[in-house]
Amino acid sequence: MEYDSYECDVLVIGAGGAGMRAALAAAENNSKVIILSKSVLGKAHTVMAEGGIAASMGNVDSKDDWKMHFKDTIIEGVYLGDWRMAEILAKEAPEAVYGLERIGAIFDRTEEGKIMQRAFGGHTYKRLCHVGDKTGLELIRSLEDKILHKDVTVFDELVITTLVNRSGKLSGAIGFQMRTGRFIAFSAKSTIIATGGLGRIYKITSNSWESTGDGIALALKAGAELRDMEMVQFHPTGMVWPLSMRGILVTEGVRGEGGMLYNSKNERFMLRYSPERKELDARDVVARAIYNEIQKGNGTEHGGVYLDITHKGKEFILKKLPGMYAQFKDFAGVDITKERMEVAPTVHYFMGGINTDPETCMTSIPGLYAAGECAGGLHGANRLGGNSLAEILIFGKRAGEHASETAKHSSSEKIGDDCIQREIKRVKSYLSDATDGENPFKLLERLRCTMDDKLGIIRNAKDMSDGIDIIRDIKLKASGTKVKGGMAFNHGLITCLALDNMAILAECMFLSALERKESRGAHTRNDYPKKDPKWKVNIMLSIKNGKISVSHIKVPKAPENLAIIIGEESYA
């Protein structure tokens, strides 16, 4: 046989926080679970999450409650977020954190022995439960240990290349294992996408190798609906030097713990942009401020601004920001206890993604679920720091529970041999000993530079129209890429497959961004600089008759009891 076949109740694609939480929930509900990871187990991009998990337990600021967390989430998402998702997040976050603690996570503590919480941009109160600046790692290790002690089958370093949707219901996925190059077909009653974001579609990004948006693209191709794809979060502070480290994250925890931003004139410029919240305004605001300062010629030697935490002293910095200390010491030769850091905005997170039902995490395709960064809706036009770690725990769990419940009442449809053979042929068509094909690495580089240049922090119609032409050219050429070598651990092949996914998502992002003729949250246009009530809509994308179709839906109104909390949106 040219391939292996497996059957299960719940197939989880992706083993970051959302995927592992989903797998755990499904296994605890007695489903037969298979979880797949593109990287080695435990290396998912979640380990890069530094600052913390947002939850309104009020351990430090006793006035905090779910209503305030809910309100912050909707307002900082500039009213585009799904109210029900935000309500679920705000209400369930404390229990999600305590749940993690009960399976072994060890958080930093307050004097009285409660879970410590730190300040973060856009959060009214000190709300982020954390472990130094390594919160994501703690989350992954705790879940990973639990998964390893459950009856869950793990395949790591496995690349899924297609989802199978033959009869309007999802019946599983096909992929191959990197170590062996062997194909595997997974037939499943329920499938959960938890593949994270697509930061690597940009050149300057905080995201790791695997964030190529595979799951989002595969879901789109299988018939699922995407939303809000124009909403890209630029984290205000990424490293700028040395060049090879450009974009690597400098946690918001630095500002949360008292770090201040200065331009080359030694001016604390956030006092001008945001007199009240200063460095701790929402990410879109701080990122734009830094971008403006650099554009105005107030940047540093390497094209950033200064971030200064030296006043907090060595002991404090080593305890609260050990990762940042090591990162700057090892890579830039900078001692952050004595010197200032140089930082600039970096692509960090995608608010948009697969459209899902807030209660069940089901997509528009029966049998297909999505949770985590690959799903859209919760964050609207701007995500608050710490909300994504809360999201992966809460919606990962929900996806796992509902996928597992549905699986109990549905039968599995085995993926047919013809279907598998076709996919094997398609994947292998990228392999060739001849050198006349397009080089996937060069094309990917062109794609990433196009995104940086044409769909950055400040956008306009001209750039975006140019950008979409380039992307369509890349998309055409992507189908003709060829690489040498075999199936096993072939980066060239994996790049060909990723490029195919990234090109279609890039097109979606441009279409969506061109469509929204206003500036809102992370989407800022200099040809439409104002927020416009007409555009209080979510932009939806799907493939119809082989083409990407764009439509709008009005942002659903929150029920009265929640509308009161949110208040009226103002248009200046």
Q: Which residues bind other proteins (CB under 8 A)?
A: 39-43, 45, 47-48, 57, 98, 101-104, 106-115, 131-132, 134, 137-138, 141, 145-146, 148-149, 154, 156, 179-181, 208-210, 241-245, 248-249, 322-323, 326-327, 330-332, 441, 445, 483-486, 488-492, 495
Please tell me the distance from the alpha carbon of residue 212 to that of residue 215, in angstroms, as a whole number.
9
Nearer to other proteins (CB atom), residue 486 or residue 559: 486
Nearer to other proteins (CB atom), residue 33 or residue 513: 33
Cβ contact 231:378 at 8 Å? no
Nearer to other proteins (CB atom), residue 52 or residue 358: 52
- Quote the least distance from Cβ 238 to other proteins, whole Å: 11
- Quote the least distance from Cβ 15 to other proteins, whole Å: 12
Beta strands 3-13; 183-193: pairing state: parallel
- Quote the least distance from Cβ 347 to other proteins, whole Å: 14
Please tell me the distance from the alpha carbon of residue 68 to that of residue 60, in angstroms, as a whole number.
15
Phi, psi angle pair for 555, to nearest 5°: -60, 120
Nearer to other proteins (CB atom), residue 142 or residue 187: 142
- Quote the least distance from Cβ 334 to other proteins, whole Å: 12
- Quote the least distance from Cβ 148 to other proteins, whole Å: 5
Tracing tokens 């807030």 back to the chain, one arrives at 358
Say how far residue 553 (Cα) sits from the centre of its chain.
23
- Quote the least distance from Cβ 176 to other proteins, whole Å: 13
Nearer to other proteins (CB atom), residue 108 or residue 357: 108
Q: SS3 for 313-364, per residue?
A: CHHHHHHHCHHHHHHHHHHHCCCCCCCCEEEEEEEEEECCEEECCCCCCECC
Q: Is 255 a catalytic residue?
A: yes
- Quote the least distance from Cβ 318 to other proteins, whole Å: 11
Q: Where do the DSSP E strands lie in 150-182?
A: 152-156, 158-165, 170-177
Phi, psi angle pair for 178, to nearest 5°: -65, -40
Phi, psi angle pair for 503, to nearest 5°: -65, -40
Sheet hosting strand 128-129, strand order edge to edge: 53-54, 128-129, 117-118
Nearer to other proteins (CB atom), residue 143 or residue 471: 143
- Quote the least distance from Cβ 194 to other proteins, whole Å: 17
Nearer to other proteins (CB atom), residue 3 or residue 98: 98
Residues facing 524 on adjacent strands: 458
Q: Is 253 left (phi over 0), alpha (psi -120 to 50) or beta?
A: alpha
Nearer to other proteins (CB atom), residue 42 or residue 345: 42
Cβ contact 44:23 at 8 Å? no
Say how far residue 508 (Cα) sits from the centre of its chain.
16
- Quote the least distance from Cβ 103 to other proteins, whole Å: 7
- Nearest 5 degrees, angle CA 54-CA 194-CA 166? 150
- Of the listed 21, 227, 255, 459, which one is catalytic? 255
- Of the listed 45, 130, 200, 235, which one is catalytic? 235
Amino acid at residue number 461: A
Please tell me the distance from the alpha carbon of residue 227 to that of residue 552, in angstroms, as a whole number.
9
Distances (CA, A) of 175 to 60, 63, 299, 366, 491: 47, 49, 46, 21, 15
Residues facing 548 on adjacent strands: 543
- Quote the least distance from Cβ 358 to other proteins, whole Å: 26
Nearer to other proteins (CB atom), residue 81 or residue 175: 175
- Quote the least distance from Cβ 385 to other proteins, whole Å: 17
Please tell me the distance from the alpha carbon of residue 342 to that of residue 321, in angstroms, as a whole number.
16
Distances (CA, A) of 239 to 339, 345, 471: 14, 8, 27
Please tell me the distance from the alpha carbon of residue 531 to that of residue 572, in angstroms, as a whole number.
8
Please tell me the distance from the alpha carbon of residue 205 to that of residue 28, in angstroms, as a whole number.
36
Cβ contact 384:123 at 8 Å? yes
Query: What is the DSSP secondary-structure string of 269-286?
Result: THHHH-TTTGGGS-HHHH
Nearer to other proteins (CB atom), residue 100 or residue 403: 100
Q: What is the DSSP letter of 209?
A: T
222, 501, 233, 228: which is closest to 363 by C-alpha?
222
Nearer to other proteins (CB atom), residue 38 or residue 255: 38
Residues facing 117 on adjacent strands: 129
What is the set of active-site residues? 235, 255
